[in-house]
Structure formats: C-alpha cells, structure tokens
Amino acid sequence: MAAPNVDLVLVIDASASMKPCFDGLRQHLSKVLLPMQGHVTSVQFCVLAQSVGMRGRQVVHDHRFLGCNGAEALDLLYKANPTQGAPRSKFFSEDPQKISNFLAGLKPDGNEDLLLALDIAADLPFGNVGNTCRIIALFSDEPIEAGAVESGRLEKIPALIEKLQQRRIKLFAAIPESPAAMELSQANRSEIEFVEGGDGLKGVDFGVLLSQMGKSISVMSLQSTGEAAYKRALFGQDRWDAAGSVSATERDVVLAVGESAKFGAGTPLTDVKVQLRWTRPIDLDMHAFFVTRDGRDGHVSFLDRSAHGVVLDHDAGIGDRGGQNVENLTVQDLEPMSAIVFATKIFGGGDRYSDYDGAVEVMPSDGSKFTVPLTAQQRGRWCWIARIDLDANGASVTNLNQVSDDEPVL
C-alpha cells in the first residue's frame, strides 16, 4: 500500500564548512517534491541543523529547528506532557518556502556530532506509522568519526540502527565513506551516497540527489507491522540542562585548545577583523606574526601598527587598566598570506594568562565569528593564542594557547 503522507526530516551538519550544502538544498528543494506528486497526499518537512562547540571547557550543542532551538527544543521533545507528546508544529511544516527561508538564514558554526543529530531526529514526533512514510536524510561533508564524537558514541550505532527499524524510519544520507558510515548503511532500506568530504558538499549535484530521493520515496510502501517500542535519547540528551545547549546569543564557533575550524566555503578573505579583549587589570599587547605566500615575514604590534595590509588600531590597557579592554587588528586581505599567529605579551610582566578573562575573536566579513578563549595556565613572556592557516581549500583557525619565552616563529 502506498503511503498517503510523508514526513521528511533533513538532518544537516551545520558546522563551519557547510554553507554550500545549505545553498544546494535550498535551490533544489522542489526536486524532491516533483517525483512524489500524484503518489502521496501530503509532505511535511522538518529541518534539524546541528553543530557542537565549546564554552570554556564545556561541550555545548546547537540544535536548530524551524520553530525552536537549543534547550527549548530538547524540552519540547523529551519533557512534553507524555499524553500529548511534542507539538509537531514546532518541528514540521508543509510549506517548502519556510524550509527555504530557514536554510537561507542558517549560519554555519562549530563542529559536527552526526550520531547525536541522527538520534534526536529519530525521536521526533512523526506522523502515524499506519499512513505515514518516515524519512530521515542526513547531509555532512565530514566522516561520522570526525568532529565532536565523544567516548562511547560509535558503540551505539547498532542501537541507533535498531531504533530506526523499530520506528519504521528509512535513512538517506550523503556523507563521506568511513567504517561508521558502512555500519550505518546496514539499516534496513537505507540509501547512502558516499561523497567527497571537506568542502561543504560543494561537489554534490543536489538537483540529481534530491530528485533520486523523491523517486525512491514515491514508490515506497507502508509496512504492515506497526511501530515497536524503542529507546529514546540514546546519548542521554533527555537529561541535559540548559547549560548544555548553545543560546541564541552565543552562536559562534568557540574553539578548544588544539581545535581548528574552517571558514565557511565562499567566505570572503578580505576585511577580516581580529580582536583581543580582556577585562582584568593588566596591560596585554596584541601582536600578529605572519608570512606571505611569496616568503615575506611581517610583525605588527603597538610599536609598528601596519605591515602588508595588517593594521592594528590602538594600544589598550596601559597602566594595567581593567575594564572592557580591546585591541583590534584588520587583515585587509588573507589571500596573499600563508599563515598568521596572533600572540600577546604582558607589558611589564604578570601572572598566568588564564587569569585575565581574555579571548581572541576572528571575525570574517560574512558575520561569522571564531572565539579562542585565553586559557593557558603557564607563565611566560609570550602566549601564542590563535593561528590562521591558508591553503587551496581556504582559511582555518586553530586555538594554540601555547606559552613560550620566545616570540612566535613561522
């Protein structure tokens, strides 16, 4: 028996590299609907854009839906009145334009946690299994094992597959090939398209991909058996408090020590702002050390505030002044650069760098932001805080927080 209704959940890795995927889905969304016309009565869409970052040393998750985000979304999903269930209107919509608008306004940030995203999607309030074809479609440019996979995540893939089958959910995916992806492909009736990784799915023809998905959905039939009992929240997200979710005011990429994040594909490399900020009474000084692609070295500081298009605005915190201290650098064009290290040196000496409530923020001109908290516990003359590297694939930011008695050498 053909399904009169379709619930289609788009699970999107919303990490920093994925903007081409948002654009591809938005531009070709109608391609998934055309093959279903005449075969199904209604199509309800849901979008889950999921990423993960750090707040200091705490892992925080960002899960964005059409009608709710973060802690509110988890509360609706897991703490709603059990006799009423989670309200579908907060998650699903029949209007493709709402999906398009959501994707157009989606800002990529952070890292990925694909198994958590799939588990949350599998717990959504799908329509009645007796008359609804339930679909989850996953899109990511990174392997399942990459990103913010916490200890024990991969061991739960069999339980996740079991849940998909108990709930009669069919899985589509466009993800890089990996052992975990191969294991996930064992889910009953799953269809996984293995793609090249690392470029936001820029090389994927979304028109063809979505059209094929629509054709496959249009010929699906309902199973005669109903929905079996299943385990919700395999990763314990039903017990998280609000502190575990990103709030609307902090949706930027916060990098842990050693962690890197890429500029979004298509992000302009011109007019990049870099800010050193701190509040404690100390005189920190911002320094930028860089090397260009043609081998020229450069150093910008309060002593020489401009070189090769890297410009520092002023010297803050003089006399160990506390308060909202900021020093701003502008990199007029990253394209000629090979690498830049942003460092600080305490004028007159001081204590541990972690004591000063400081951070470096890297802000490309597309409105995104990469935050590197100043967390180094050691004492030393220099703290190398953050680094930008440039290669053929664009720009990436790395949290260094490395203390040294020597200035950075590239």
- Classify the phi-psi angles of 40: left when phi > 0, otherwise alpha if psi is within -120 to 50, otherwise beta: beta
Would you state the pLDDT for residue 331? 96
- Inter-helix orientation angle 114-122/157-166, to 10°: 20
Confidence of residue 33 (pLDDT cuts 50, 70, 90): very high
Residue 35 has pLDDT above 60, yes or no: yes
In whole angstroms, what is the distance from residue 111 CA to residue 131 CA?
A: 36
CB 184 within 8 A of CB 171: yes
What is the DSSP track for 179-221? Answer: HHHHHHTTSTT-EEEE---SSTTTT--HHHHHHHHHHHHHT-B
Query: In this predicted structure, what is the pLDDT of residue 286?
Result: 94
Yes or no: domain 5-250 corresponds to CATH 3.30.70.1710: no
pLDDT digits (tens, 9 = 90+) for 235-270: 999 998 888 887 655 556 788 899 888 886 567 788
The CATH number given to 253-404 is 2.60.60.30
Convert the pLDDT of each residue in 394-405 to its tens digit. Answer: 889 999 999 998
Report the pLDDT value the prediction gives residue 146, as an integer from 0 to 100.
82
β-partners of residue 7 are: 44, 134
Quote the pTM value. Answer: 0.64
- The stretch 158-181 carries a mean pLDDT of 95
- Per-domain residue ranges for the chain? 5-250, 253-404
Of residues 357 and 167, more confidently modeled: 167
Which has the higher per-residue pLDDT, 288 or 200? 288
Let me know: does 336 contact 293? Beta carbons within 8 Å. yes
